[in-house]
Amino acid sequence: MSRRPYVREMSKTTWYMRNGRYRVYVLRELSSFLVAFYTFLVIYALSVLAAGSAVQWNSFLASQQGVGMIIFHGLALLYFLFYQTFPWFKLAPKAMPIQVGENKVADSKIIGAHYVAWIVVTAFIFWLAGVI
Amino acid sequence: MGTRQLELEVMRYDPEKDEAPHFQTYSVPCNEDWVILDAINYVKDNIDTTLAYRWSCHMMVCGSCGMMVNGEPVLTCKTFVRDLPDKVRIEPLENFPIERDLVVVLDDVMQKLHQVQPYIVRKDDPPEDAEYKQTRGQLMKFKQLTMCINCMCCYAACPQYGLNKDFIGPAALALAHRYNLDNRDQGKSDRLDILADHNGVWECSFVGACSEVCPKHVDPAAAIQQMKVDGAVEFWKQRLGIPGDKS
Ligand code: SF4
Ligand code: SF4
């Protein structure tokens, strides 16, 4: 009797088509492109600001306020909410379980604390930006 | 009790004859209260004695009957016929080499389980005439992680392991975490090198597939994320010269 194990290679290019779970995962990871985009946007905005020209700064602001850009930002926000914020908050009690005495703190409390912190930070940023 | 005719499409591979695996279909009269393992046993007993597969306890304890059923890694002893369509595809666990038919080669994960030192490591001498004490609270910290039966369904589900066989993977990392969390253990620093290696916890991208398929609710993905948090805290402690926790 001879051993000759058969190896099924996982395709390096199409592996994520294997099941729905992998596809959701890849969609989550693809949001990194948006993160990169917003990083460059902020760097660009800072450089315009640093240049000190009001004309340039105002035209940059205007470029972000067109209908197309607003739709883009809105879609990006939804994408982040559904593929990052909500799933990560849901997973928070797994990554950071808290045990008091013999019992684990309920998942809902840990998740709730994240939402409260999120709202507080968002409100602070809005206040800083003069929106509220 | 009603019976239902099930078409089992079973992956076959004979290392002495076949170049590659192929499917063979068996028509099996199943009782509605059967699990897939019963159907496979029926094939072995009544249709084809050459079919090779592993099983032992038939009650979710031994961890040997893990297979892909319609693309999902499951214990066939807890996968009921009544929850499945009339056509069922059965394959050996994904991400492992096939030894024969439904039997896979597990050498790699066995070595990985061994590698994480899955036992209590002590730096001092054991107390004479006494046991190491543990409170219920201390036990609850890791009890869930002791439920693992090494069925390796998590490895079959993990895309990172599929892509990189050097990744230590979910069950072995969860096992390492189980001992790291045990108050009687002092081996955390010994395990750190393996776990913090690029094939350790950081290779996991938190797909979470492992936890979804785990039949014993061990939640290896959670254990791995906790180790990442741990690892990051230890890293900064070392940088800032703060002594680490136990050992
Ligand atoms: S963690 Fe779960 S799926 Fe993985 S080997 Fe253990 S029992 Fe099986
Ligand atoms: S959470 Fe990590 S270990 Fe689990 S399936 Fe995903 S990548 Fe693999």
- In this predicted structure, what is the pLDDT of residue B247? 43
Domain count, chain B: 2
| B139/B191 same-domain check | yes
pLDDT of residue A16: 86
The answer on B215 and B203 residing in a single domain is: yes
Strands B3-12 and B87-91: parallel
Task: Give the 3-state secondary structure of chain B.
Answer: CCEEEEEEEEEECCCCCCCCCEEEEEEEEEECCCEHHHHHHHHHHHHCCCCCCCCCCCCCCCCCCEEEECCEEEEHHHCEHHHCCCEEEEECCCCCCEEECCEECCHHHHHHHHHCCCCCCCCCCCCCCCCCCCCHHHHHCCHHHHHCCCCCHHHHHCHHHHHCCCCCCHHHHHHHHHHHCCCCCCCHHHHHHHHHCCCCHHHCCCCCHHHHHCCCCCCHHHHHHHHHHHHHHHHHHHHCCCCCCCC
**Mean pLDDT on A16-29:** 87
Task: Check whether residue B25 and residue B54 sit in a common domain.
Answer: yes
Q: How far is the CA of B35 from the centre of ligand 2 (A)?
A: 27
Residue A45 has pLDDT above 90, yes or no: yes
Instruction: For ligand 2, say whether the CB of B153 is within 6 Å of any of its atoms.
Output: no
Q: Is residue B62 part of a domain?
A: yes
> Which of B136, B141, B162 has the CB atom closest to A10's CB atom?
B162
The Cα of B3 is separated from the nearest Cα of chain A by a number of Å equal to 31
Cβ–ligand 1 contact at B224 (below 6 Å)? no
Could you tell me the two tokens for A114? Answer: 């994240």
Residue B245 lies in a domain: no
B246: in domain: no
Instruction: State the Cα–Cα distance between residues B207 and B209, nearest whole angstrom.
Output: 5
Q: B104, B127, B156: which is the final residue of a domain?
A: B104
Which residues of B fall within a CB distance of 8 Å from A2?
Answer: 15-16
Q: Quick one: B46 and B154 in the same domain?
A: no
Cα separation, A82 vs B220, in Å, equals 24
Residue among B97, B225, B228 whose CB faces A7 most closely: B97
For residue B73, pLDDT beyond 80: yes
Supply the residue whose CA is at minimum distance from atom 1 of ligand 1: B171
- Note the residue count of chain B: 247
For residues B43 and B113, membership in a common domain is answered with: no
CA atoms within 13 A on the CB side of B138: 10
For residue B237, pLDDT over 90 is answered with no
Query: B148: Cβ below 6 Å to ligand 1?
Result: yes
**d(CA B100, ligand 2 centre) in Å:** 27
**Does B236 lie in the same domain as B135?**
yes
Please provide the average confidence, as pLDDT, over all residues in chain B: 93
Residues B74 and B122 in one domain: no
Average pLDDT score over residue span A69-85: 94
Residues B125 and B34 in one domain: no
Residues 216-235 of B with CB under 8 A from A: 219, 221-222, 225-226, 228-229
* Amino acid in the structure at residue A51: A
- The ipTM, to two decimals, is 0.85
B93 within ligand 1 shell (Cβ under 6 A) = no
Nearest bound ligand to the CA of residue B221: 2
Top pLDDT among B204 and B152 is at B152
Query: How much of chain B exceeds pLDDT 70, in percent?
Result: 98
**Shortest alpha-carbon distance between residue B111 and chain A (Å):** 17
**CATH number for B153:** 1.10.1060.10
Per cent of chain B over pLDDT 90 is 79
B69 within 8 A of B79, measured Cβ to Cβ: yes
CATH code for position B92: 3.10.20.30
> What is the CA(B202)–ligand 1 centre distance, in A?
19
pLDDT of residue B1: 64
CA of B216 to the centre of ligand 1 (A): 7
Single out the residue in B61, B84, B104 at which a domain terminates. B104
Mean pLDDT over B177-190 rounds to 94
**Which of A25, A94, A95 has its CB closest to that of B207?**
A25
* Nearest neighbour of B209 by CB, restricted to A10, A21, A102: A21
CATH topology of domain A13-87: 3 helical TM bundles of succinate and fumarate reductases (1.20.1300)
Residue B23 vs residues B85, B91, B163: alpha-carbon distances, Å: 18, 9, 25
**What pLDDT is stored for residue A51 in this prediction?**
92
pTM of the full predicted structure? 0.89
More confident residue, B233 or B175: B175
Q: Calculate mean pLDDT across residues A61-65.
A: 92
**Residue range(s) occupied by CATH 1.20.1300.10 in chain A:** 13-87
User: Where a domain ends, among B84, B104, B124?
Assistant: B104
Please compute the mean of the pLDDT values over residues A1-11 and round it to a whole number: 88
Answer yes or no: do B170 and B198 share one domain.
yes
Question: Which of the pair, B40 or B231, is modelled with greater confidence?
Answer: B40
- Average pLDDT over chain A reads 92
- Predicted confidence at residue B48, as pLDDT, reads 98
Q: Which of A101-115, B1-15, B33-47, B178-192 has the highest mean pLDDT?
A: B33-47
Confidence label for B145 from pLDDT (cuts 50, 70 and 90): very high
Q: What is the pLDDT of residue B203?
A: 86
pLDDT of residue B245: 57
Kindly state the average pLDDT of the residues B169-198. Answer: 92
- Please report which confidence band the pLDDT of residue A63 belongs to, taking 50, 70 and 90 as the band edges: very high
pLDDT over 60 (residue B205) = yes
B124 and B66: one domain?
no
Comparing B48-62, B85-99, B136-150, B229-243, the range with the smallest average pLDDT is B229-243
Instruction: Note down the domain range covering B112.
Output: 107-240
